[in-house]
Amino acid sequence: MKKSLLISLATTLAAGGAMAQGSLGAFQSVFDSYGFTVGPGETTSAAAGSSYYTGNVDIELLYSSTATAGTVTALNALDGTAGVEAAATADGFAVVSTTTLTGSQTGIANGTTYALSGGEINISGSSPLQEIGLTTVPTSGTGIIALEATVVGGADNGFTGLVAWGGQAFGGNPTTHPAGQDSPVNTDAAGENLDMVGATPEPTTLAFAGLGGLSLLLFRRRS
C-alpha cells in the first residue's frame, strides 16, 4: 500500500513538474502588421497607423487549459469593449507571466511598465529573444493564450484590452540548468489590433444614477 502511494505521489509530482513553468521567446514580435490601439472601433484596421497607441502599458499573459477555438473567437469579438477581461476570467484564463528566469533573458513582469511606439512593444535588453517564463503552463505542446494590456499614465490611464490566440507552442522551463529552450510567440495570431478602452458603468450603476437624478429633480420641484 505504501509503495503504491509513493509511486502515485511520484507520478503526481512529475506531472506537476511538467506543468511548472513553460516559456515563450521573441515576445517583442507579437505584433507586426497589427498593434495596440485606444478607443472603440480600432480593433480590426491594421492600416490605421495614426491610431496606434504610443505610451506606456502594463502587459500580462494569461492561459486557460480549458479554452477552445470557440472561446478565442468569442473573446476576440469583444476586443475593444469593457467586458472582455471579465469574459476571459469566466473562461478560465489566469495570469501566468513571470520573471523567474535564468541567463541574460529579459522577462515580462506582472505590474511592470513597457513602452509602446507606434503600437509596437519596445523591450530593452541584451537578449534578442526576450524570453518570458509562464507558470502553470506546459513545457511542450500547444495551447491557447491571451495578452492583456493596461495603459499607464496619460489621458487614457487605466484603459485595458485583451486578445487571445490558439496554436501557441510552449517552450521548456527557463529556470532549469541548462535552461529549457523557449518557443517563439505567434506573430499577429489574433488577426486584429489589441484595442484598449475605458471601463463602462454597469447597467445597475446607470439605473441608480438615473433614479438619483430623478429624485433630485422632484425634490427641487417640491421646494
Q: Who has greater pLDDT, 111 or 126? A: 111
**29-43, 89-103, 171-185: segment of lowest average pLDDT:** 89-103
Which pLDDT does position 36 carry in this prediction?
A: 92
Q: Which domain holds residue 29?
A: 21-222
Q: How many domains does the chain have?
A: 1
Q: Who has greater pLDDT, 27 or 5? A: 27
Residue 40 domain-assigned (yes or no)? yes
pTM (2 decimals)? Answer: 0.76
Q: Who has greater pLDDT, 149 or 211? A: 149
Residue 208 domain-assigned (yes or no)? yes
Residue 12 domain-assigned (yes or no)? no
Report whether pLDDT(72) > 80.
yes
Residue 8 domain-assigned (yes or no)? no
Closest of 33, 31, 23, 63 to residue 146, by C-alpha = 63
The answer to whether the peptide bond before residue 178 is cis (omega within 30 degrees of 0) is yes
Full 3-state SS string of 37-80: EECCCCCCCCCCHHHECCEEEEEEEEEECCCCHHHHHHHHHCCC
Rounded CA Rg of the chain? 21
Tell me: the pLDDT tens digits for 158-169? 999 999 999 999
Coil, helix or strand at residue 18? helix
Residue 186 domain-assigned (yes or no)? yes
Residues 6+ apart with CB under 8 A from 21: 98, 100, 133, 134, 135, 136, 137, 139, 173, 174, 175
Instruction: Please provide the average confidence, as pLDDT, over all residues in the chain.
Output: 76
Residues 6+ apart with CB under 8 A from 69: 166
Which pLDDT does position 28 carry in this prediction?
A: 83
Residue 107 domain-assigned (yes or no)? yes
Tell me: the pLDDT tens digits for 119-149? 888 776 555 567 788 888 999 999 999 999 9
Residue 1 domain-assigned (yes or no)? no
Query: Averaged over 94-116, what is the pLDDT?
Result: 65
Residue 10 domain-assigned (yes or no)? no
